[in-house]
Amino acid sequence: MSLVAFTANLFLMLVEIGKGGQWSWANYGFWLLALAGESFIGWYHLESFPEVITPEASKYNIALVSIFGIRYGIVVLLALLSQIHRKRESREDDLDALRAFDAGATEDITPSATSSSQPAWATKKLTGTYGTFSAAFGKDPNAAKNAGSGGAMGSTSEEEVEKKLKTEKEERASAFKDFWPKIKRLLPFVYPKDDPWLKFMIFMTFVFLMLGRLVNLLVPILTVWIVGNLSEQGAKFNAGAILLYIFVRYLQGSSGLINAARAWCWVPIEQYSNSSLTIHFFEHVHNLSLEFHLNRKTGELLRILDRGTSSIVTLVSTVLFQLVPVILDVILAVVLLCVGWSWKYAVIVFITIVSYLIVTIVVTEWRTQFRRAMISFDNEARAKAVDSLLNFETVKYYSAEEFEVSRYRYAIYKYMIADYKSQLTYQMLNLLQSFVITMGMLAGCLLCAYEISQGILKVEYFVAYIMFLNQLYQPLNWFGTYYRMLQQNFVDMEKMIKLLDQNQSVKDIPNAQPLHVTAGQVVFENVSFQYDSRQKGLSNINFTVPHGQTVALVGPTGSGKSTILRLLFRFYDVSSGRILIDGQDISQKTQASLREQIGVVPQDSVLFNDSIYYNINYGRTGATKQEVESAAKAAQIHDKIQDFPDGYATKVGERGLRLSGGEKQRVAIARTILKNPPIVLLDEATSALDSTTEGQIQAALARMTENRTTLVVAHRLSTIVHADLILCIKDGVIVEQGTHDQLVEQAIANGGEGKRILFVFAFLFTTFFFLFDLQ
């Protein structure tokens, strides 16, 4: 009957799989009923169990009870796995709903429209332009996939992540690929070649490491000696042997004296590795070009740093001070068993080790894909959280709190499912490893007990063998753990190594000399630039900014005005042509010396989450307090700072959000004034200021740019009307140039580009500021 029932249920499950459907409650409930039935039958076998464990028990009864035990264990496991699978399918249904929300369905969802089985978050009403997901809760399992195509979430979609994981699976690339090149790449962060004291600490660490291996051999040998003396007739009390045994046990183990000394020696090495790697990563990211930082996600970058640094430090510690001792312990145990017992025990141990390693490596390689998926979704969730928090005000402007929470919940839910799969496969690996070890112990113990019963070995050898097995089991079990740790560490540090290997798009040439500025004349000679094949840049730009003069750049948004400033600051290298400062090609000079000579006031000034004094002093960190205050006065912000309760010690908040837009801009102007550069770049420097403040700041800017070479990007006429030269740029080309009066005359004469950009625009703003001055 049992065979018929099991076969019928298996057939029905296979049919459902073939149809692409889901298993029903009957399929899951069958295993619970089977467990109840097997438990009832088990009472009968329990009654006969005392007879089985007696020496007179028949082999038939022993086999019968053993087979039932295996059968009952399988049924328990199947019942447990069926409920786990049922819960997982429930989560997958919820994820389908979330996918529909990510795509953006067309109908609103209200609490009354949802069923009681839906997750709690699904009952929230999400309306407006954020998209809803009621279609996902229909009976059609494909409704979620067809709910829409809007992609309301932005950022990385789950389909893109799955596509990436599928590619990795097809390539079958092991996490240990290029093992030695990776180790060689990290060696400078591990071995302090220029520090004798740290080298001595490394040497002492290995000394204590070898002492620990010798102590591990002494413990079972002393155990055999003590048990042998006590088991013989006329046993003698040997206090010295017992004291020696206790002392050796005190030295042994993870909490023993030798391991504590080794760990103490390793602490400075670990700190060196952690600090040197973190600092190098931080420096490397700062040295990467603007192109990288425009495309990066801050949250994901920080997660890569956290995981990468931790994984590399753990990797070094695991390989040198965990994996190597395990290998030595296993080798010594096998040799001692072969010499002290017989080759049979060595063969059993060898087969057990090989089987264990094969199972560990094969299963771990298989489950690496789940680990990678978990890391990908974790990085995505962190990136979304950071992006949402950085845009706090925008979220408030559009009342999108529920939308942002739903986006983050969606990302967390995907991470939870990926983490669940990773944890489940991890437990499967543990079960297989435990089975291999148990079978090896069973074979060895049966052989040892048989030889003792035949008089080949003495009883103390069984005790010693059990101790050897325990001593072997522990490092062998840890060997699998270490392999998994190595696998995970390599997966975690893949992105960090890839980032560390990323080259700068803008580099100093070999033996580049510093830039020496005398007059500060800037010349663009036939400069052309293109971001990529899809995005236009600049074409054949030619102009000269003599010392002490101001050139203004005007034109529609996206015409290339800010690109000119970025090229001068050398955020990018030109595609063709040259940029000269005092006759020196900036591409032949060091970037640091170039940027020391240029001061920038950007359109959107971002401040450090520190004091106002710190942000102004950042322009020249060696400046005195008096110089900082003088710069603030020149930027028309000193009096405002004095009105704050904490004065210059006032914290500006994240990205300066505690200050108004005008206050942030004036702090940025003060910072540039303090730097005192010969060349000044103003990118919409007064765009965030009101009319009254702008009128005040124009005088400060005029004083700051006096006798300095200045490039100004602006739309307000008040900023450019007094410029020595105005360049009208359209689609990356200079279409007209001249002074303000010349361009107005050209506009009147021929209706050129200047008419659209300056003429009407100029008269409106000129009239406005004239009336303002009269007031």
Calculate mean pLDDT across residues 209-228: 80
Number of residues that make up the chain? 775
Region 445-459: mean pLDDT is 84
State the first-to-last Cα distance of the chain, in angstroms, to the nearest integer. Answer: 103
- Residue 171 sits in the same domain as residue 108: no
Are 130 and 274 contained in the same domain?
Answer: no
pLDDT at 184: 76
In angstroms, the Cα distances linking 124 to 79, 111, 206, 401 are 35, 7, 60, 12
Distance CA 333, CA 327 (A): 10
441/467 Cα distance (integer angstroms): 11
Per-residue confidence (pLDDT) for residue 81, from 0 to 100: 62
Which of 204-213, 525-534, 738-747 has the least mean pLDDT? 738-747
Q: Based on the fold, state whether residues 332 and 479 are members of the same structural domain.
A: yes
Q: What is the DSSP string of 52-106?
A: HTSTT--HHHHHHHHHHHHHHHHHHHHHHHHHHHHHHHHHHHHHHHHHHHHH-BS
401 to each of 92, 99, 396, how far by Cα in Å? 25, 19, 7
Here the tokens at position 748 are 């009147």
pLDDT over 50 (residue 144): no
How much is the pLDDT for 80? Answer: 65
| Paired residues of 601 in beta bridges | 682
Q: Which of 475, 500, 525 is the last residue of a domain?
A: 500
- The per-residue pLDDT for 20 is 45
59: confidence class by pLDDT, cuts 50, 70, 90 = low
Q: What pLDDT shows up at residue 689?
A: 61
Mean pLDDT of 90-115: 45
Number of CB atoms found within 10 A of residue 107's CB: 11
pLDDT tens for 401-447 read 888 998 899 889 888 888 888 888 888 888 888 888 888 888 888 88
Q: How many CB atoms lie within 10 A of CB 43?
A: 8
- In this structure, of 237-241, 511-515, 745-749, the range with the lowest mean pLDDT score is 745-749
**Res 48: pLDDT:** 55
Q: Count the neighbouring beta carbons within 10 Å of the beta carbon of residue 439.
A: 14
More confident residue, 771 or 665: 665
**Does residue 206 lie within any of the structural domains?**
no
CA 148 to CA 134: how far, in whole Å? Answer: 11
Strand order in the sheet with 576-581: 538-545, 522-529, 576-581, 584-585
Q: Regarding predicted confidence, which is higher, 749 or 297?
A: 297
Spatial CA neighbour of 27 closest among 44, 14, 42, 40: 14
Q: Does some domain include residue 458?
A: yes
Work out the number of other CB atoms within 10 angstroms of the CB of residue 67. Answer: 11
| Domain identity same for 69 and 179 | no
Give strand pairing partners of 598: 679
- For the segment 155-182, what is each residue's pLDDT rounded down to a tens digit? 445 555 555 555 555 444 555 666 677 7
Summarised one tens digit per residue, pLDDT across range 313-324 is: 788 787 777 778
Chain segment 551-567, per-residue pLDDT in tens: 999 888 888 888 899 89
Whether 715 is in a domain gets the answer no
Contact present, 719 and 551 (Cβ < 8 Å) = no
- pLDDT of 721 reads 78
* pLDDT of 135: 31
Q: Of 418, 507, 468, 413, which Cα lies nearest the Cα of 218?
A: 468
- 170 and 76 in one domain? no
CA 593 vs. chain centroid, Å, equals 33
Tell me 584's DSSP state: E
Share of the chain above pLDDT 70, in %: 68
pLDDT average, residue stretch 321-331: 78
**450 and 394 both lie in a single domain:** yes
In a domain, 634, yes or no: no
- Tell me the C-alpha distance between 641 and 647, whole Å: 5
Same domain (yes/no): 133, 170: no
Distance CA 549, CA 711 (A): 9
Res 120 pLDDT > 60: no
**What is residue 475's three-state secondary structure?**
helix
CA-to-CA dists, residue 48 to 2, 43, 52, 66, angstroms? 22, 9, 7, 12
Residues 47 and 94 grouped into a single domain: yes
Quickly count: other Cβ atoms within 10 Å of residue 295's Cβ: 7
- Give me the number of domains the chain comprises: 2
Same domain for 477 and 377, yes or no, is yes
For CA atoms 723, 725, 727, 728, the dihedral sign is positive
Report, as an integer, the average pLDDT of 136-161: 40
Q: What is the mean pLDDT of residues 95-120?
A: 42
Partner residues linked to 680 by β-bridges:
599, 710
* pLDDT value, residue 341: 78
**Tell me, what's the pLDDT at 318?**
79
pLDDT of residue 764: 47
Of 465, 500, 535, which one is at a domain's C-terminal end? 500
Choosing from 465, 481, 500, the residue where a domain stops is 500
DSSP strand pairing (709-713 vs 679-683): parallel
Q: Is the pLDDT of residue 217 over 50?
A: yes
Q: Are residues 490 and 450 part of one domain?
A: yes
Residue 634 CB contacts under 8 Å (≥ 6 apart), including other chains = 670, 673, 700, 703, 704
Res 116: pLDDT = 38
CATH of the domain at 302: 1.20.1560.10
Given this model, what pLDDT does residue 469 score?
A: 76
pLDDT at 159 (0 to 100):
59
Average of per-residue pLDDT across 476-488: 70
Lowest-pLDDT choice from 365-374, 433-442, 519-528, 633-642:
365-374
Domain membership flag for residue 38: yes
Pull the structure tokens for residue 163: 């596509």
On whether both 130 and 171 belong to a single domain, the answer is no
Determine the pLDDT at residue 531: 80
SS3 of residue 518 by DSSP? coil
| 370: in domain | yes
**DSSP of 124-188:** S---GGG-B-GGGGSS-TTTTTTS-S--TT-S--HHHHHHHHHHHHHHT--TTTTHHHHHHHHGG
> Domain for residue 67, yes or no?
yes
Closest CA to 701 of 714, 728, 719: 719
> Does residue 581 register a pLDDT over 90?
yes
- Asked whether residue 379 is assigned to any structural domain, the reply reads yes
Domain span at 48: 2-137
Count of beta carbons in the 10 Å neighbourhood of residue 188: 13
Type of residue found at 328:
L
> What pLDDT, on a 0 to 100 scale, did the predictor assign at position 19?
44
pLDDT tens digits for 242-286?
888 888 888 876 678 888 898 898 888 888 888 888 888 888 888
352-361 per-position pLDDT tens digit: 888 888 888 7
- Distance between CA atoms of 424 and 684, rounded to whole angstroms? 56
CB 267 within 8 A of CB 245: no
User: Which residue in the block uniquely carries the two structure tokens 């459907």?
Assistant: 21
Same-domain pairing of 38 and 170 = no
